[in-house]
Structure 1
Amino acid sequence: MDAPRTTDPAATEAADSKPKFIRSRGLRFPYDTRIINRKRRALLHSDTYELKESEAVLSQIRPDDRVIELGAGMGYMSTLMARHLKVRDIHAFEANPAMIPYIRAVHAFNGVDTVRVHNALLGETAGEVTFYVRGDFVASSMADNLGDKHGGVIARETVPVRPVAEAFTEIRPTALVCDIEGAEQHLIPLMDLSMLRVAILELHPQVFGQDGTRRVFDAMAAAGLTYFPRASQGKVVTFRRGW
């Protein structure tokens, strides 16, 4: 007869306290239900989370690029670039202060130390804005008129705005990765795009319509960046300097 099993309370507590992860593309993401809801969990498990943007980034970003990422989200793209592409110089901007500890945790758990995380927005001039944190952290934004959607507003935070010209002069990026929920129509024309080799954007025409889309394309064309269809899918568009 087998000896009866004994339970070591200390061992049980240690096992229960171990962080749980969702794995995606070989990367590890702490399972925080405020950030990873059922839909995101399924997408992460199937390696289809931000699929179009991921494919563009993996095919177009180079290890020697200096990347500026606007809208860092849960740290997915910056971790993907650092781990899979070995990019050594990434500046990730995220407005939502509730996401910053999670992004840093994602980087730490994946051994990423080449990303500088900025809790700030870029704009024309320096200042501050009110940011509305929602129960679903990823759905937080500067909009205060969404009612109880996405878990409702659970906090109001003051977020600094940095002049975009200052940030570009300081970082001198060669690559831009941008997903900022429609603000790109105003921000892209303010940028000095002349230093970029490539730009990968998720457009939001449902927010700004045809006029906003045209403003983005016109700004890219004026800077010598051409729409690159082979690395574009739907609302994710890529612009390159030279083919």
Structure 2
Amino acid sequence: MSKPVIYELNGVSLPHDDAIITPQVAASLKRGNYERAEVLATPKFLEPEDRVLELGAGLGYISSYAAKVIGVSHVTCVEANPKLADYIRGVHEMQGLENTEVRNCVALPGGAKLNPDKTMPFYIREPFWSSSLDPGRDAIAVENIAQEYLSDLIKDAGATALIVDIEGGERDLFKGGDLGSVRKIYVELHTRYIRPKGIKACFDALSEHGFYYDQRVSHGGVVLFRKL
């Protein structure tokens, strides 16, 4: 029986899973540049006392890095893809982490109306990072996922920092609601999905909440906002 493949990257161990880790992702893990921008940026704004809420947790790599290597107080991962949510739980267990939680749900802005059954369709695509709430692109499966208001997730997690990578969902995420205890928001902007008007909407909403663009940490399409 062959030995299981484990990727070791910046102090984090990730088990191979054919259903999740594509050849492209595997190559990036082997080269050591998977989520490189985030690994370089997070130590610049996360501190040990921070409680992190991560939306769109992917493989659980950044959450594991934040909890294990940076040593933040707690990380709550929100992942809409149920298979990824299970994988992330396994990754956290592999690191021996006890200060993390994984929630399989979708975060909604404060002004959004919940569906009667408090679920909504999430469109699964390959590779996994193409999955989203957008029905307009080819999907291999559709899952009905629990809806949660962002403000409730923040309150439940006691979050002081948000890390957001949700394939265009950032456009409307920050409209209305209450960002409560959050003081730092690190978000990947997906211009190809939300277009310039969506970028402006995201900046405008965060400005209304009292956040400003932090040039020192931001790079390209990954932007840090801080509370004034």
State if a TM-score over 0.5 links the two structures. Answer: yes
**Per-residue CA shift, 1:22-61, capped at 9, x if unaligned?**
1111211111122222221222122211121222212111
Q: Which runs of 5+ in 1 are unaligned?
A: 1-12
Question: Are 2:87 and 1:91 aligned?
Answer: no
Q: Decide whether aligned partners of structure 1 residues 143 and 241 sit closer, same or farther in structure 2, where only a CA change above 3 A counts.
A: closer
What's the CA shift for 1:113?
Answer: 1.7
- The 8 Å contact of residues 73 and 99 in structure 1, kept in 2 or not, is answered as yes
The answer for the alignment partner of 1:104 in structure 2 is: 89
Q: Distance in 1 between matches of 2:168 and 2:32?
A: 25
**Per-residue CA shift, 1:120-169, capped at 9, x if unaligned?**
0011343211223335344333334433xxxx50x332101112232223
Tell me which moved more, 23-32 or 33-42: 33-42
The answer for the alignment partner of 1:119 in structure 2 is: 104
Q: TM-score, normalised by structure 2?
A: 0.89
2:191 aligns with one of 199, 205, 219: 205
Question: Are 2:217 and 1:222 aligned?
Answer: no
1:146 aligns with one of 134, 137, 152: 137
Q: Distance in 1 between matches of 2:23 and 2:200?
A: 35
Question: Are 2:157 and 1:171 aligned?
Answer: yes
What's the CA shift for 1:66?
Answer: 1.3
Q: Which runs of 5+ in 2 are unaligned?
A: none
Question: Are 2:31 and 1:40 aligned?
Answer: no
The alignment of Structure 1 onto Structure 2 pairs a total of residues equal to 222
Give the residue type in structure 2 aligned to 1:56: A
- The 8 Å contact of residues 35 and 138 in structure 1, kept in 2 or not, is answered as no
Give the residue type in structure 2 aligned to 1:221: S
- The 8 Å contact of residues 21 and 30 in structure 1, kept in 2 or not, is answered as yes
Q: Distance in 1 between matches of 2:53 and 2:123?
A: 24
Q: Distance in 1 between matches of 2:33 and 2:113?
A: 37
**Per-residue CA shift, 1:79-108, capped at 9, x if unaligned?**
010111111211110000111221111111
Give the residue type in structure 1 aligned to 2:144: T
Identity percentage of aligned residues: 34
Give the residue type in structure 2 aligned to 1:99: L
- The 8 Å contact of residues 185 and 226 in structure 2, kept in 1 or not, is answered as yes
What's the CA shift for 1:203?
Answer: 0.5
What's the CA shift for 1:194?
Answer: 5.0
Give the residue type in structure 2 aligned to 1:142: L
- The 8 Å contact of residues 129 and 167 in structure 2, kept in 1 or not, is answered as no
What SS does the aligned partner of 2:137 have? coil
> What is the root-mean-square deviation of aligned Cα atoms in Å?
1.9
Q: Distance in 2 between matches of 1:174 and 1:223?
A: 14
What SS does the aligned partner of 2:19 have? coil
- The 8 Å contact of residues 130 and 167 in structure 2, kept in 1 or not, is answered as no
Q: TM-score, normalised by structure 1?
A: 0.84
The answer for the alignment partner of 2:122 in structure 1 is: 131
**Per-residue CA shift, 1:169-202, capped at 9, x if unaligned?**
3333110100011111111223423522211000
Give the residue type in structure 1 aligned to 2:53: I
What SS does the aligned partner of 1:122 have? strand
Q: Distance in 2 between matches of 1:169 and 1:66?
A: 11
- The 8 Å contact of residues 154 and 182 in structure 2, kept in 1 or not, is answered as no
Larger Rg, first or second structure (1 or 2):
1
